[in-house]
Amino acid sequence: MKIEIDTHTHTLVSGHAYSTMNEMAVAAREKGLKGIALTEHAPLLPGSPHFYYFQNLKVVPREKCGIRLFLGVELNILNQKGEVDLAPEILEILDLRIASIHVPCYEGERTVDAITEAYLRAMENPNIDIIGHPDDGRFPINYYRLVQGAVATGTILEVNNTSLSPESFRQNGRENILNLLQECKAQGAFIALGTDAHVDTAIGEYPYVMELLKESDFPEELVVNTSIEKLEKYIKK
């Protein structure tokens, strides 16, 4: 399986990443990619940019070093209502919108029902394209309901390579991603493979994800970032 665009990366703007836009674009080109999504952390995660940063992305070219850029955001899901930390009028001008749960930003119960409800409500938002790393055991999920909601709302679910890294602080990533893949395969839900790269050398590297896709015999037709055209077809924007 050849991935044409990495849908989840961060530059130094996110506060705890280490490469510039240009460095990320050059690395993407050297890895043989055609595109890259720069999805900076939204304002409520410590160290992240002010909303002015996202508001002003209109000045940035959508192509650098021969690489198509999708300029977006990784939002923080804040509560069981699925609320996020950027206004709709800003989200509407971005190219790709991921929504994830992060420890410093989520307020509320961490029961299976509460976390599942938070994701389901977030997926109802027409300005959210992808649910990021729904695999962290610290935020338990009913995967049948999650995938059912993704199919109903046309939301893409992410399989995050960083969650499978031995250095990852997320819990039970392998078991949870296998459960996610099984449900997506059974219900026909689309997934995106994201590296969650915080440095240029990690772009386009999916060693752990590819192993699980092979193990679960996951169909390539349900992976949206095998081409830019396919990604554009399945994101909500």
Residues 217-228: pLDDT tens digits? 999 999 999 999
- Beta strand 67-76 with 63-64 is antiparallel
Q: How many domains does the chain have?
A: 1
Q: Residue 47's pLDDT is what? A: 96
Q: Residue 237's pLDDT is what? A: 75
Taking residue 191's Cβ as centre, other Cβ atoms within 10 Å add up to: 25
Domain that holds residue 74: 5-234
Residues 51-109: pLDDT tens digits? 999 999 999 999 999 999 999 999 999 999 999 999 999 999 999 999 999 999 999 99
**Phi/psi of residue 85, each to 5°?**
-105, 30
SS3 label, residue 223: strand
Q: Domain containing 10 — which CATH number?
A: 3.20.20.140
User: What's the pTM?
Assistant: 0.97
- Host H or E run for residue 99: strand 96-100
Q: Residue 75's pLDDT is what? A: 98
Q: What is the largest CA-CA distance in the chain?
A: 45
Taking residue 162's Cβ as centre, other Cβ atoms within 10 Å add up to: 21
C-alpha 181/C-alpha 177 separation (Å) is: 6
Q: Residue 231's pLDDT is what? A: 98
Q: Residue 60's pLDDT is what? A: 97
The parts of the chain modelled with pLDDT lower than 70 are none
Contact 37, 70 (CB under 8 A): yes
Beta bridge partners of 74: 41, 98
Q: Residue 2's pLDDT is what? A: 95
